[in-house]
Amino acid sequence: MKILIDARPFVDPHAGGVTKFALGVVEALMKAMPDAAFTLVTTGLRHTQYTIPNTRYSSRHVLIPNKLWSFLSMIGVVSLDRVVKDKPDLLFLPNLGFTGRPHTPYFLLVHDLSFLIEPRWFRLRGRLWHRAVQAKRLIREARHLFAVSERTKQDLIEQLKIPADNITVIPIGLDPVKTFDELPLPLQGKRFVLAMGHGNTRKNSTCAQVAVEALRRDPKFSDV
């Protein structure tokens, strides 16, 4: 089986947790399908090198300005599956983006639907970007969706009427290799809640604080 993967998120210099999670999914996919032929495709005037450890794959870089690619994909002139010589059997998209309108069945990893649920969390540029990539169409036309949580799956069902059978949840796990050897001194011997997000509005840290305060009212968790 020939599987094409959109690798552009992996070379984004501003990549955060979403990209790291997607990279982990791709790495696991490659290890689970050793007989498949994987091709990772990127675009842009600069070919940024990247590696996925302990995996085998080929790379295809399309030498085209990303802004031009974005425009051409918006009007349907190009798509990721049409820039490789051998037509792939499947296309895997680790995130939303300017993919064009693929002619190949594709799987899409959905991280959240905050752009639909709370568009006010995004600046105008972010809201226009989600419209430009035709996010709702990309999600609805996917052969199958992967969600990072049960909450995201439920949002897909409620917001976009995606059948539950078309969604597989891939829970975010803890990499045993990347754990703390020793907790920071203030946390040693204590129970605590770890919230991710670095103050990003979309992470809703205020809600997390309210939840912890409610948790502390339970005598069993008063020391959290």
Domain boundaries, the chain: 2-169, 180-221
CATH number for the domain whose boundaries are 2-169:
3.40.50.2000
**What's the whole-number average pLDDT of the chain?**
87
Segment 96-106 mean pLDDT: 94
pLDDT of residue 174 exceeding 70, the answer is: no
The whole-angstrom separation of Cα 61 and Cα 65 is: 12
Cα gap 73→219, rounded to integer Å: 56
pLDDT tens track for 42-57:
999 988 877 777 788 9
Q: Determine the pLDDT at residue 168.
A: 95
pTM of the model: 0.79
Q: For 128-170, what is each residue's pLDDT tens digit?
A: 999 999 999 999 999 999 999 999 999 999 999 999 999 999 8
> Tell me, what DSSP letter sits at residue 64?
S
The token pair that represents 107 in the structure block: 């799987």
* Confidence at 6, pLDDT banded by 50, 70, 90: very high
| Cβ atoms within 10 Å of 217's Cβ, excluding its own | 8
Residue 168's CB is within 10 A of a number of other CB atoms, namely 12
pLDDT tens-digit profile of 7-36?
Answer: 998 887 666 777 888 888 888 889 889 899
Q: What are the angstrom distances between the C-alpha of 89 and each of 73, 80, 92, 111, 194? A: 20, 13, 10, 24, 41
